Amino acid sequence: MPLVSTTLTWRDHLGTIGARSGYYRSNYKVIPGLYGIGRPGLDSPVLVTANYKLSFDALRQVLPGIDAWILVVDTRGINVWCAAGKKTFSTDEVAYQVKSTRLAEIVRHRELILPQLAAVGVAAGRLRKACGFNGIFGPIQAKDIPTYLHRNRQADEAMRTVTFNTGERAVLIPVEICLLWKPFLAATAVLFLLSGIGPEVYSLSAAGTRGIQALIASLLAVLAGAVLTPLLLPWIPSRQFWLKGALVGGLTAMTAMAALLPTTWTADLPAAIALVLWAASVASYLAMNFTGSTPYTSLSGVGLEMRRGLAFQLGGTTLALGLWIWSAFA
């Protein structure tokens, strides 16, 4: 049985940076199966986690001095919460790993400590029938597991409470920004192309001048939707993430344009409105990505928000592009 260290190497830290920034996000995983920490034996606890390597590393690094088994289920390289929602961290998958690793021959007890965020995908009662092991749900955070084990598997309210504080929101920002570069380049190319349309057949000079203005609005939208909105989340009006992003995007664009492009408001009002609408629509979409990362909304709530948000985003983008082209003729 493979034994793993509780100390992360420089390769693990580089991998964490890669995953957090989006480069390894889709293929950062470990082989499913049973691993040992310390010198596990017949009575050592069995902790279950996903095969997303960030989840695996987060668990093993908090277990120095503890003898335990880690049962890694195949979640296709997806973290615990998302995998449970997608039903890849499921009752059947946990039962399959228990049987395939012959866990019943390795430990005397019949208890699996499951991550609490897997509760939506794992039915503890059905798990017992499927593999003979009882599933109990441990703390939310891996860092609380040593205390949880020391207290004889008793979790207090703090261990059961999901948080989404500033640090937890900030850690999501790099990956959101890094995943943007392809659509951002495509959108920038389209904006520069549309910016050259005008009374003349086509103006390369206008494409450059107006294209720069559109690029500034796009950068402001990314700043507003992917950075400012998550950081300022509790203080922005509305419970809907798309609306939070739209408000921050619109205000950021208006404030920055007043400072960077002051003449636009007086000399070309339609163009100014178009840029603000564009920034608000893009920021709204980017902010809406965070709704699935939070404890604020249910699955049905996310669906409702997306229907409302996409209507605004598509309508705002269409109107913004129409005004942008029309402003060249006005």
Question: How long, in residues, is the chain?
Answer: 330
Q: How far is CA 77 from the centre of its chain?
A: 14
CATH topology of domain 3-162: Rossmann fold (3.40.50)
Residue 52 pLDDT: 93
Residue 24 pLDDT: 67
Put simply, whether the predicted model's pTM sits higher than 0.85 gets the answer no
Tokens of 172: 């999501």
Tokens of 298: 């249910």
Domains of the chain, by residue range, sit at 3-162, 167-327
Alpha carbons 163 and 116: distance in angstroms, whole number: 13
Bridge partners of 50, per DSSP, are 73
Alpha carbons 192 and 213: distance in angstroms, whole number: 9
Radius of gyration, CA atoms only, the chain: 25
Residue burial 76-93, b: 16+ Cβ < 10 Å; e: rest: ebbbbbbbbbeebbbbbb
pLDDT tens for the chain, 330 residues long, are 789 999 999 998 888 888 777 666 667 889 999 999 999 999 999 999 999 999 999 999 999 999 999 999 999 988 898 888 888 999 999 999 999 999 999 999 999 999 998 988 999 889 999 999 999 999 989 999 999 999 988 888 888 887 778 888 888 888 888 888 889 999 999 999 999 998 877 888 889 989 999 999 999 999 999 999 999 998 999 888 999 999 999 999 999 877 776 666 667 888 899 999 999 999 999 998 877 666 666 666 777 888 889 999 999 999 999 999 999 887
